[in-house]
A and B are shown apart, each in its own frame.
Chain A
């Protein structure tokens, strides 16, 4: 999946340089899947309470945001491009990581600790496929990677800074709708494998709770189908094909709920899962 990004906002350029340095670059005349422009708003909003806009193929993607939110807007717009055009995939709001050829899908609403868990896992032996979008091929059920920086919010930023000394983040953006947001650079060896698909083996619904012991609980498959369906961006659009892909996915996987309050304990649970 290839993007061409144009921006007149220096903060976007700095963030791209910091977080995407390991990614292959397109030549100017090469085909790309998505053309995205993140630019300062015209008119009054260029000067007074300046704003930034995102356009895909010339059409606005979201409402304008404060200029200081330009890089998060870029990442959100990239996610939007993928979720609205992944017609050959069932797309889920879920992180997904892989180890030993088997992928674990981590679906969860915002605030559940999904991205924190994902960011920790990719620094403890798991390969990042995506921290936000799980794409399940309708043709063969394999997960197609969308390897991009991991979005972290609020306390998670400090937690991951402590958990991964030396981790590279974008400059934090404050006062977004999600609070303070920063993006974590993906390890280069994961970027190098960004085209390697994987078969799913587990669906794990994470939930962070302060002080909670790391606990994995088996979930019935019908319940998993319903809950995963709620986390799907496009099952209704895909119709029966999307449902079959979802049901096949659940059929193939062991399904669990996962509660945790400590990252080290969580890593131990996932180590045991990988060894099973």
Chain B
């Protein structure tokens, strides 16, 4: 469910990789049920060594990044499976912002649906910002302000970012996506009526047997 987003101040953790996929973010674990532990799911395998103990080298296991609220990554973040648990597991760990050079389409949409802010910086700016976050090394927080579309923090000037105005409004107001669409319920009904006449097979999926 949508959590509104206006502004977040938190530690930024650098995950300096491209093509981080949703199998890595939220692996399908063998033992599971309907009520899943999304907090434990996040990067479940990447966080652990072969013997099951924590891998101290994984960025979110480092003491300075354990409470990170901002994740900073490379190109094509969230590739692969459409599983929304790859967003829920971020939120369950207090991560409210992902700043990446680019996002996979479905993942970005899943972020918007849940109030996880996807910030796209593009390639050159993204590289600069990753370097800055690595240098700051969790010593001081960054603030991501969706209202002003700026990232501010230690180690450099404010960074402006672009986001489509509609996505911004939706995140700030925490709009109910289904509610937005249901404002058009009459148009949906009249589309159905037109299709029923023009291409009736689209409006009927009956077993002919």
Do A and B originate from a single complex?
Answer: no
Binding site for B on A (CB under 8 A): none
